[in-house]
Amino acid sequence: MSPLTGAGNDRPATLADVAALSGVATSTVSRALSNPGRVNVLTRERIERAARELNYVPNSQARALTSGRTRAIAVLVSDVTNPFYFGIIRGTQHQLKAAGYTQLLVDTEESDELEDGTLHKLRRSFDGAILAASRLTDRRLTALAKEIPLVAVNRQTRGVPSVFIDTPSAIEQAVGHLVSLGHRRIAYAAGPATSWPNEGRWRALVRAAEHYGVEAVRLGPFAPRQYAGAAAADAVLHSRVTACIAFNDLLAIGMLPRFRERGVRIPNDLSIVGCDDIFGADFCNPPLTTLTAPIEQAGRTAVAMLLSRLDGGPAPMARQAVTLPTHLTVRDSTGPAPRTAPTAPTTNGVPTA
Amino acid sequence: MSPLTGAGNDRPATLADVAALSGVATSTVSRALSNPGRVNVLTRERIERAARELNYVPNSQARALTSGRTRAIAVLVSDVTNPFYFGIIRGTQHQLKAAGYTQLLVDTEESDELEDGTLHKLRRSFDGAILAASRLTDRRLTALAKEIPLVAVNRQTRGVPSVFIDTPSAIEQAVGHLVSLGHRRIAYAAGPATSWPNEGRWRALVRAAEHYGVEAVRLGPFAPRQYAGAAAADAVLHSRVTACIAFNDLLAIGMLPRFRERGVRIPNDLSIVGCDDIFGADFCNPPLTTLTAPIEQAGRTAVAMLLSRLDGGPAPMARQAVTLPTHLTVRDSTGPAPRTAPTAPTTNGVPTA
DNA sequence: ATGAAAGCGCTAACAA
DNA sequence: TTGTTAGCGCTTTCAT
B270 and B319 belong to one structural domain: no
Find the CATH number of the domain harbouring B287.
Answer: 3.40.50.2300
Model pLDDT, residue A314: 52
CB spacing of A122 vs B140 below 8 angstroms: no
The count of domains in chain B is 3
Given a cut of 80, is residue B245 above it in pLDDT?
A: yes
CA/C1' separation B12–D10 (Å): 14
Look at residue B349 and tell me whether its pLDDT is greater than 70.
no
* Share above pLDDT 90 across residues of chain A, in percent, rounded to a whole number: 82
Assess whether pLDDT exceeds 60 at residue B313.
Answer: no
Range B124-141 average pLDDT: 94
- Give residue B49's pLDDT band: very low, low, confident or very high (50, 70, 90): very high
Inside any domain, residue A10? yes
Q: Does A338 have pLDDT greater than 50?
A: yes
**Per-residue model confidence (pLDDT) at position B346:** 53
Q: Are residues A271 and A303 in the same domain?
A: no
pTM attached to this predicted model: 0.90
Q: Is residue A67 part of a domain?
A: no
Which pLDDT tens digit goes with each residue over A251-301? 999 999 999 999 999 999 999 999 999 999 999 999 999 999 999 999 999
Residue environment code for B310-346, b if the CB has 16+ CB neighbours within 10 A, otherwise e? beeeeeeebeeebebebebbebebbbebbeebbebee
CB spacing of B280 vs A279 below 8 angstroms: yes
Contact A89 B80 (CB under 8 A): yes
Nearest CA in chain A to B279: A280
Q: Which of A28, A58, A88 represents a domain boundary (last residue)?
A: A58
Band of pLDDT at residue B290, cut at 50, 70 and 90: very high
Contact of B46 with chain A, judged by CB distance below 8 Å, is answered with no
Residues B86 and B102 reside in one and the same domain: yes
Q: Is the pLDDT of residue B202 over 70?
A: yes
Three-state secondary structure call for residue A128: strand
Kindly state the average pLDDT of the residues A342-346: 72
3 state SS of A278: coil
Instruction: With respect to residue A63, please indicate whether it lies within any of the assigned structural domains.
Output: no
Q: How much is the pLDDT for A7?
A: 43
Measured from Cα to the C1' atom, the residue closest to D7 is: A66
Same structural domain, A78 and A156: yes
CA distance B340 to chain A (A): 28
B243-246: strand order across its sheet: B215-219, B185-189, B243-246, B271-276, B289-292, B327-329
Put simply, the chain A residues between 164 and 193 with a CB less than 8 A from any chain B CB are: none
Residues B213 and B177 in one domain: yes
Q: What is the pLDDT of residues A72-114, one digit of tens each?
A: 999 999 988 899 998 999 999 999 999 999 999 999 988 999 9
What's the whole-number mean pLDDT along residues A57-86? 92
CATH of the domain at A22: 1.10.260.40
Examine the domain organization and report whether A177 and A283 are in the same domain: yes
Give yes or no: residues B16 and B130 share one domain.
Answer: no
B7 exposed, middle or buried (CB, 10 Å; 0-12, 13-18, 19+)? exposed
Give the closest residue to A226 by CA, choosing from A192, A254, A190, A260. Answer: A254
Q: Tell me: the pLDDT tens digits for A111-148? A: 999 999 999 999 999 999 999 999 999 999 999 999 89
Protein CA B30 to sugar C1' D13 (Å): 14
Residue A101 lies in a domain: yes
How much is the pLDDT for A220?
87
Position A228: which residue type?
A
Write down the pLDDT at residue B347.
47
- Give the Cα separation of A132 and A89 in Å (integer): 9
Amino acid at A163: V
Tell me whether residue B67 is in a domain: no
Report CA(B47)–C1'(D15) in Å, whole number.
Answer: 23
Nearest to B216 by CA among B273, B165, B160, B164: B273
Contact B308, B279 (CB under 8 A): no
Average pLDDT, chain B: 91
Cα B151 from Cα A158, distance rounded (Å): 45
Same domain, yes or no, for A230 and A187? Answer: yes
* Residue B274 included in any domain: yes
Give the amino acid at A310.
L
B184 and B315 fall within a common domain: no
Please tell me whether residues B210 and B232 are part of one structural domain.
yes
Specify whether A135 is located in the same domain as A181.
no
- What is the residue range of B160's domain? 72-165+295-323
What are the distances in angstroms from CA B292 to CA B82, B151, B167, B324?
A: 16, 22, 8, 11
Average model confidence (pLDDT) across chain A: 91
Instruction: Report the pLDDT value the prediction gives residue B249, as an integer from 0 to 100.
Output: 98
Task: Please check whether residue A316 lies inside any domain of the structure.
Answer: yes
| A64 domain-assigned | no
Q: What is the DSSP string of B262-289?
A: TT--TTTT-EEEEEE--TTTTTBSSPPE
Query: B244 and B300: one domain?
Result: no
* Residues of B (217-256) whose Cβ lies below 8 Å from A: 253, 256
